[in-house]
Amino acid sequence: MSALPDDRTPAQRARHFIEHETAFRLGVLPTEQPHPGTRGLAEAAQKDPADAVRMILSVDRELIDAADRVFASVQFGKLVEALTRSLSDDGDGRTSGGRVFFTGCGATGRLSILLEACWRKACQRAGRGDLEDRVFSVMAGGDFALIKSVEGFEDFTDFGKHQIDDTAGPRKLNEHDTVVAISEGGETSFVIGTAWRALEAGATPFFVFNNPADVLAEHVERSRKVIQEPGITKLDLSQSPMAVAGSTRMQATTIELLVVGAALEIAFDTVAGAAPKPATHYRDRYAALVDELEADAAVDAVAGLAAYEAELYRDDRLVTYLADQLLLDVMTDTTERSPTFSLPPFRKRGDDDALPSWSFVQNPAVDTDTAWRTLLGRDIRGIDWGSKDYAGMGAPDAIVQAPPCLDRGTIRTFPIGDEVLPARTGGVAITLLTAGDTIADAASNVAARFADEAALAIGTEPPAGIERVFRVPVNLCHDGAMQLQHHLAAKLALNTLSTVSMAVMGRLVSNWMVHVSCTNKKLIDRGTRLIADQSHMGYDEACVALHEAMAALAADPKLAARTSPVAHVIAQHGKA
């Protein structure tokens, strides 16, 4: 995302990155490193998917120790206090009280949207409509980024400041508000911008991240400034590396959901007049969930569905998930498969020239407009910035001259309701159910349009009449107001499922994402390091090779549909 002219050669672009983007050289961070316990993950998946499932879950188990440390920390107590104060504060008498803003980018942006949706739905179930419009998500790129990554947005601090100002609206951020800025790596410029804006406005800012604070402060200047700022409370959720190197959509975002979700539920219970649970309850429930997922029946279900999906994709057949309660969860997972494994993203209604996504999501019970509102618990929140807005924020010329379409109308063109999608009906409909779901009949009617159907049941009995069923037997009976256990169970199962299915498909090498899409500076660095690791090249040579491959694939859509720039280089220059 450089402002330099587009007529540079790939070698010139690589040289500029090497010399001028040193702030994005992040290989020293634990979240960017391979986990020693999952080496050979891809090869294990191809021999026996169940072994790969167990390898991933062993890393999920490591979060328990991190949760113990964080839940006992002073900083977690401050987060609960701040959320409770903002959500119960009547302000100065002229307002309806304080607000809470969760901000993030990519996986943490989708987490922020999930937290807002959980809050809103908890308010709706409890009959507390007066509390509903007190929690807001600020995802880089707005709600559009739920369905497709917005290239380069995370690289700009001013984008974060501008977007949180837009979300706060006429009331503006103020001293009654709390801002929880969540960055898996702890170095995302967009998220850091929202934390600085909160401090400037007199709100109470928190910065949540998954790398050791001392490592970040030593190696990343923009992170060091936030970490050393006494007016911003830091929650260091650091743990071991991800099960797949750099795939922070997995364990990093899981512990963020556990910790920040627990704090928000405790605040909800307090404000709503219920008895809040101690933080240890959330740690214990997570530990129990991992135990249940590691049992043979659950492992076999996830591994079986991963193998089945891989078989479908090999046969050029598409998967459509039918869901209601877990629609946002499965949308997040399927969206994240696109940049992680270089798969076709979701396509808009009528965009028949684009390749269909390998997996997609629909709510079988309602039309698309209703599905979007049900999914979010509110109206769609788009971004309507024009060229002048981007120019004022110092955006690259490419964005200024052609602003991305991120508005509400564009988002509504993605058909996630019950409508017929002819390009997908030759594939398989997979009904996704959890405890309390009531869509079995509607799903059955919609699934009848497809060539085949299956079901994934998480914490509930599978629907009758479906021959191919994958049941994940976990206990969701004692969940709280925000149903965190439902969402944690779905997240762990879906992340594992999609990672293992892609490993079976050859989209991983060992525990590296060789098919990652290099759509921002952090991912260009990650792709360069991966090429260097898997070839005989040094960093600089690998960076040039990556930029050359990016240019070659941009000029050859058919080749780009089959591989990623990183995988392309490794195929040509990988270790013998």
Residue ranges per structural domain of the chain: 10-37+511-573, 38-58+291-388+405-504, 60-277
CATH of 38-58+291-388+405-504, picked from 3.30.160, 1.10.3470, 3.40.50, 1.10.287, is: 3.40.50
Average pLDDT over residues 256-280: 97
CA atoms within 13 A on the CB side of 405: 7
CB count in 10 Å sphere of residue 558: 7
Burial class (CB in 10 A: 0-12, 13-18, 19+), 51: middle
Strand partners, 205: 179
Distance CA 351, CA 343 (A): 16
pLDDT of residue 152: 75
Sheet with 204-209: list strands edge to edge. 135-139, 100-104, 178-183, 204-209, 233-236
- Tally helices (H) and strands (E) across the chain: 25, 10
- Supply the DSSP string of 257-298, one letter for each residue: HHHHHHHHHHHHHHHHTS-PPPHHHHHHHHHHHHHHHHSHHH
What is the rounded average pLDDT for all residues in the chain?
93
Average pLDDT over residues 206-222: 96
Angle between helices 279-294 and 63-71 (to 10 degrees): 170
Which 3 state secondary structure label does DSSP give 433? Answer: strand
The structure tokens listed for 511 are 């525990």
pLDDT at 108 > cutoff 90: yes
Alpha helices in 107-229 (DSSP H): 107-126, 129-132, 157-168, 189-201, 213-219, 221-227
The structure tokens listed for 405 are 């379409």
pLDDT at 318 > cutoff 70: yes
User: Is residue 317 within 8 Å of 426, Cβ to Cβ?
Assistant: yes
pLDDT at 95 > cutoff 60: no
pLDDT of residue 93: 40
Q: Per residue, what are the HEC states of 55-111?
A: HHHHHHHCHHHHHHHHHCCHHHHHHHHHHHHHHHCCCCCCCCCCCEEEEECCHHHHH
Percent above pLDDT 70 for the chain: 97
pLDDT of residue 468: 97
CA atoms within 13 A on the CB side of 360: 30
pLDDT at 342 > cutoff 90: no
pLDDT of residue 1: 37
Per-residue pLDDT reduced to its tens digit, 11-21 = 999 999 999 88
- Cα 44 from chain centroid? 25
Q: How far is CA 462 from CA 84, 235, 306, 434, 441, in A?
A: 38, 39, 18, 9, 12
pLDDT at 94 > cutoff 70: no
pLDDT of residue 164: 98
Distance CA 335, CA 212 (A): 28
- Cα 114 from chain centroid? 10
Backbone torsion region of residue 309, taken as left when φ is above 0, otherwise alpha when ψ lies between -120 and 50, otherwise beta: alpha
Average pLDDT over residues 205-234: 96
Higher pLDDT, 335 or 339: 335
pLDDT at 4 > cutoff 70: no
- Residue 314 makes CB contacts below 8 A (sequence gap 6+) with 505
pLDDT of residue 562: 77
| Strands 319-322 vs 233-236: parallel, antiparallel or unpaired | unpaired
For the domain spanning 60-277, the CATH number is 3.40.50.10490
Distance CA 373, CA 102 (A): 19
Spatial CA neighbour of 298 closest among 114, 497, 432, 442: 497
Distance CA 70, CA 65 (A): 9
What single DSSP character describes residue 12? H
User: Is residue 245 within 8 Å of 31, Cβ to Cβ?
Assistant: no
CB count in 10 Å sphere of residue 506: 15
pLDDT at 96 > cutoff 60: no
Higher pLDDT, 148 or 213: 213
pLDDT at 544 > cutoff 90: yes
Same fold, 38-58+291-388+405-504 and 60-277: yes
- Supply the DSSP string of 458-494, one letter for each residue: ESSPPPTT-SSEEEE----TT--TT-HHHHHHHHHHH
Distance CA 238, CA 10 (A): 36
Average pLDDT over residues 242-270: 97
CA atoms within 13 A on the CB side of 12: 7
Burial class (CB in 10 A: 0-12, 13-18, 19+), 477: exposed
Percent above pLDDT 90 for the chain: 84
Distance CA 347, CA 397 (A): 26
Per-residue pLDDT reduced to its tens digit, 64-79 = 999 999 999 999 999 9
The structure tokens listed for 525 are 């660095």
pLDDT of residue 90: 60
pTM: 0.92
pLDDT of residue 6: 62
Distance CA 158, CA 193 (A): 6
pLDDT at 3 > cutoff 50: no
Residues, the chain:
576
- Cα 226 from chain centroid? 23
Per-residue pLDDT reduced to its tens digit, 158-209 = 999 999 999 999 999 999 999 999 999 999 999 999 999 999 999 999 999 9
pLDDT of residue 26: 79
pLDDT of residue 22: 84
- Residue 474 makes CB contacts below 8 A (sequence gap 6+) with 289, 292, 293, 298, 458, 459, 489
pLDDT at 517 > cutoff 90: no
Name the CA dihedral angle for 293, 298, 300, 301, rounded to a multiple of 10 degrees: -120
Q: Per residue, what are the HEC states of 321-385?
A: EECCCCHHHHHHHHHHHHHHHCCCCCCCCCCCCCCCCCEEEECCCCCHHHHHHHHHCCCCCCECC
pLDDT at 384 > cutoff 70: yes
pLDDT of residue 28: 86
Per-residue pLDDT reduced to its tens digit, 455-473 = 999 999 998 899 999 999 9
Average pLDDT over residues 546-573: 88
What single DSSP character describes residue 212? -
